[in-house]
Chains A and B, each alone.
Chain A
Amino acid sequence: QKEVEQNSGPLSVPEGAIASLNCTYSDRGSQSFFWYRQYSGKSPELIMFIYSNGDKEDGRFTAQLNKASQYVSLLIRDSQPSDSATYLCAVQYSSASKIIFGSGTRLSIRP
């Protein structure tokens, strides 16, 4: 079993709709959770991090964490064509430990 699992996609969402990206992780002791956006040929860019159960909102982005279910999600409201990218879910056991990434979900926003 992979440590961080994501659906590889592609996930196709119409412009203006809500895109929902999901991620599960295997280490129940994980403490920190991240969402990175990666455009083709570019390096990952941090867009959200979350440490506590519940929702965290930043502009059009909402991260949701459920530690009991070992589940992290990212919602993108009012999706724009510029949101088309690969979204990487990442998990960290403790603040000083390595970050473990999923393989990413490709998101495509269709006009």
Chain B
Amino acid sequence: DAGVTQSPTHLIKTRGQQVTLRCSPKSGHDTVSWYQQALGQGPQFIFQYYEEEERQRGNFPDRFSGHQFPNYSSELNVNALLLGDSALYLCASSFQEETQYFGPGTRLLVL
């Protein structure tokens, strides 16, 4: 049984560009949450998707947007990249309100 998967594993972009990160939840899970983890910090909640809708959102600007597809997979889009967006982006999946499990993450470097 595959766990949470994310792609790509690493990504290098330049300031002002746009990026799309992808997440496939663990089999049987229907809820996807996205987190940003800067170096030396704990993960910060970006938003959560359930039934293809954004259910909750953290304190992130509108440059951060997402989507959930009918198969429960999800995308995180970041527009107009800033140097400060460099971080590990984590996707976590759960079955509704149960425990969240993290994927391996996508490491984004903005130059």
Contact = CB atoms under 8 A, between A and B. Distances in A.
B102 A43 contact: yes
Interface residues of A, number: 21
Interface string A76-103: 0000000000001010000111111111
Nearest to B46: A98
B53 to A, nearest CB: 13
Contacts of A49: 99
Interface in B79-101: 88, 90, 92, 96-101
Nearest to B44: A101
Interface of B: 33, 35, 40-45, 48, 55-56, 58, 88, 90, 92, 96-105
Interface of A: 4, 34, 36, 42-46, 49, 88, 90, 95-104
Which 8 pairs from chain A and chain B are nearest by CB? A101-B42, A95-B97, A98-B45, A43-B102, A43-B105, A96-B97, A103-B42, A101-B43
